[in-house]
Amino acid sequence: MAPNLLRELRNNLLKGIALGLFVATGFSLRVSFLRLTVGTSPFDRLNTTYLATVELYYCGGLIGGTLIGLFLPVRRWLLGAAFLGMLGVFPLYFGVAVTTSGAASAFTIDNLAMSSVLAFFVGGAVGIWSWLRENPESHGPIQMLRHPTIRTVVILWLAAGALAAISYFGLSRWTGSWPADLVIFLAVVLFVIPILIAVLVTWGWAKPRIK
C-alpha cells in the first residue's frame, strides 16, 4: 500500500510541476515577445526587469505546480478543483505583489488579501471550468444548473436577492473597519456572483424556449 501511495504522490507531483512550468513558459514567451517588440518600458513602469519577471513566472509556476501535485486527488470534486486552481495561481500573484512592494514588506495584509482575491476569482474559475469539462455528465446540483427548470430559476433568484440585500445593507454596517480589499471581495462574492449565476442559469432555461 505504501509504495503505491508514494508512486501516486510522485506522479501527481510530476504532473503538477509540469503543468506549472508549462504555464510559466507560456507567460515567459508572452513577455519575451513584449520585450522584443516594445523594449524595457513596460518593465520600467513596474520597477522590474525582464529577467526578474521571467524568474517570477518560473518560481511561481514551480511552487504552484508543486501545490497542485500535492493536493491533486481533491480534483474529483467541484470545490476541490476550484481549490486547486486557487492554490496554483496564488504564488504567482503573491510574487507579483512582493516585487511591487518589496521583500521587506512582503507578508502584509494588503499583499496577502489582494493575492487571495485574485487567486479566488482567476484560479477558482479555471478550476471550476476544468472540472465541468472533465465531468460533462455530473449529477446533483450541478446537473440542475446545467439543465434548469423554472423552479430552479425561481430558487436561484430568491437566493441571489437575499444575498444581495445582505451585502447591500449589511456590509457597510458590519465591515467599517475591515480592509478595503476584503470588503470588495465580500461584495463580489455576496452580490455580483449570485446574480451572475442566476442570470446565466435563467439564460440557459430561456434559450431553448426562445428558439
Q: What is the pLDDT of residues 106-141, one digit of tens each?
A: 677 777 888 888 888 888 888 888 888 788 777 677
In this prediction the pTM is 0.72
Query: Domain tally for the chain?
Result: 2
Closest C-alpha to 91, from 117, 113, 62: 62
pLDDT at 2: 64
In eight-state DSSP terms, residue 135 is -
Give the residue-averaged pLDDT of 164-184: 71
Instruction: Quote the domain boundaries for residue 38.
Output: 2-134
- The answer to whether 54 and 95 are in contact (CB under 8 A) is no
**Pair 166, 67 in one domain:** no
- Asked if residue 188 and residue 120 are part of one domain, the reply reads no
Specify whether 106 is located in the same domain as 153: no
Lowest mean pLDDT among 19-23, 67-71, 193-197: 193-197
| 87 shares its domain with 163 | no
Q: For residue 76, what are the contacts with CB-CB under 8 A and spacing of at least 6? A: none
Residues 119, 21 share a domain:
yes
What is the rounded CA–CA span in Å between residue 69 and residue 12?
5
Handedness of CA 60, 63, 65, 71 (dihedral sign): negative
Cβ neighbours for 87, distance < 8 A, ≥ 6 positions apart: 64, 67, 68, 71, 119, 123
Last-in-domain residue among 134, 155, 177: 134
Mean pLDDT of 162-190: 73
User: Between residues 140 and 58, which one has the greater pLDDT?
Assistant: 58
Statement to judge: residues 153 and 200 lie in one domain: yes
Q: Choose one of 115, 134, 153: the last residue of a domain.
A: 134
> In the listed set 134, 165, 192, which residue is the last one of a domain according to the structure?
134
Is the pLDDT reported for residue 48 higher than 60? yes
**Is residue 49 pLDDT above 60, yes or no?**
yes
Examine the domain organization and report whether 124 and 170 are in the same domain: no
Q: What is the mean pLDDT of the chain?
A: 83
57 vs 78: CA distance, rounded Å: 27
Report whether 44 contacts 52 (CB < 8 A): no
Q: What is the pLDDT of residue 64?
A: 93
